[in-house]
Amino acid sequence: MKLILKIFLYVAAVLVASYFLPGISVSGGWASVEGWKTAGLVALVLTVMTFTIKPILFVFTLPINLITFGLFSLVINGALLYWTPHFVPGFLVGTFLDACIGAAIISFCHFVINKILDED
């Protein structure tokens, strides 16, 4: 049950990022079924990219990550979010800065969700 709730809230985090940032757009918006489907596909693609591409990028950028005390991870997450519209029709990211800010919003929401749901 927790897994389904986490997935639902991760989709909601994508919609929150698209709501607050004009540079990120989900077709249909948060109030339509199409918007929730698109956000679900975005969450799925981001999850797959996080488990496959992110570790490789993290290893290659380890020195920069150490120098910036891990803050370069936000740039990596932004890059993954910036590449996502190539795989998801109906999802648009304007600039790389929008992607980095959106990734920070999604990461913060994901952190809060995990802290709330993992407290037993």
- The number of CA neighbours under 13 Å toward the Cβ of 103 is 24
Delimit the domains of the chain by residue range.
2-114
Task: Give me the pLDDT at residue 9, please.
Answer: 86
Percent of the chain's residues with pLDDT above 90: 65
| pLDDT band at residue 85 under the 50/70/90 scheme | very high
| pTM of the entire predicted model | 0.88
Please report the sign of the dihedral spanned by the C-alpha atoms of residue 57, residue 87, residue 8, residue 17: positive
Q: Chain-wide mean pLDDT for the chain? A: 90
Read off the pLDDT of residues 93-111 as tens digits, 9 standing for 90 and up.
999 999 999 999 999 998 9
DSSP assigned state of 92: E
Q: Which residues contact 18 (CB under 8 A, 6 or more apart)?
A: 24, 25, 26, 29, 30, 39, 102
